[in-house]
Amino acid sequence: MSLGLAGNRLWIAVTGGILLIILAFASVSTYGKAPSLRLKAPGSRAGESGGSLQDVHNATLGFQKIFAINLPSRTDHRDSISLAAHLTGLQVDYWDGVTSLESKTLPPGGEEFTSKGALFAWRAHMNLLRHIVENNITTALIAEDDIDWDIRIKSQMEDYARASRVVLQTTSSGPADDYYDADYTSAGGAVIDYNVVEHPTTEPTSSPYGEIETWDIFWLGHCGVKMPTPSDNLPTNRAVIYNDPTVPETQHIDAEFGDRQLVDGYPNHTRIVSHAHDNVCSLAYAISLPGARKILYELGIKRIDRAFDLALTSVCGGTDRRPRATCLSVMPQIFAGYHPIALRASLSDIGTPEHGDEYTTVAFSKNIRWSTRGNFEQLVYGRKQYTDTFRDGEPKPDLGE
């Protein structure tokens, strides 16, 4: 945790050092090999800011670019996301949504689409992934334009970076033999929780979040994830961030299409980074250049027969005749869809207007405490009394869902 732990630094430094020694001996006795030199000493200790972790605090969150996909006609979406980005120190490049498509350009399976909106959304992601490949962009965060995040996004992403390094450098049975978990094949191992402040990782060089060859996608904004368990044929190692004040207490957490493992199995204020499993909604995801190549090939060229988010889920799961990409996710999510007070039918350009002329009652974003959009007034006028949608010790508010 980056908040409120200054007094524990020394303790962490000491235990970190002891852990390094223990790990070095463990690897000798277990595998009969020389201890791996890649466990770099002091600078790379978990729980300590420094090196490229600082890059996470820059205007693109330590990625090379942040893109938001926006239909130029949705001026309302653009107004809000631009202001939200500005107020939280982020720099966003806009990418035009798609409004027409010739059917002869579709890859195999494209005829399965029944919704034009879903087809156009898929194409917008493909255009952007192609741009990433064409311009050799090493890492990018890709967002839909109606998302929200906590005002404390930068400290959250620093914690996420510590956690992604841990997940990428461990396996379901212990620290990885190499930099990362590339050759992992599920052997029915038990779930192992790695506390991010106790587990040492090496300092990556190509991205603050872990070497770009070791990950394809970070699924950071979704409307549901299931953390892998031994029967899921996915790596089950998890990085656990305890005492995160940006995480609502469990009575407030809405797992949506995901499972209840976080809510039922962990203390309040816990955030977990794991491999992605059955994610729904592609609200925001980071992608590495190797990941962009894979998705452009798999979903742009090889076959697309379902909505983009579900197709991405099959790539992350290695299902539906696709090789498995390395995708991590996080629960609670870091980006969530913003629910403004609005005509329900105006909220999405993908869905059908089944809600007629119903208005929503409260503005909120699921699982986000200090919603940036919900605090526009405070941020614009420089007031520090931020609205916390999900207050500790209180029952879940009536959000009029």
Q: Shortest Cβ distance from residue 86 to ligand NAG (Å)?
A: 14
Residue 54: CB minimum distance to ligand NAG, A: 9
Closest CB to ligand NAG among residues 138, 387: 138
Closest CB to ligand NAG among residues 170, 201: 201
Q: How far is the CB of 103 from ligand NAG (least distance, A)?
A: 33
Site residues, ligand NAG (CB under 6 A): 55, 58-60, 62, 64, 91, 136, 138, 249-251, 267-268, 392-393
User: Shortest gap between Cβ of 59 and ligand NAG (angstroms)?
Assistant: 4
Residue 338 β-bridge partners: 365
Q: Which is nearer to ligand NAG, 261 or 279 (CB)?
A: 261
Give the nearer residue to ligand NAG in terms of CB position, either 213 or 232: 213
CB-wise, 35 or 290, nearer to ligand NAG?
290
Task: Compute the least distance from the CB of residue 105 to ligand NAG, in Å.
Answer: 26
Hey, how many other C-beta atoms are within 10 angstroms of the C-beta on 141?
24
Nearer to ligand NAG, 61 or 307 (CB): 61
Residue closest to 373 by CA, chosen among 41, 83, 76, 174: 83
CB of 141 to ligand NAG, least distance (A): 11
Q: CB-wise, 250 or 367, nearer to ligand NAG?
A: 250
Least distance between ligand NAG and beta carbon 232 (Å): 24
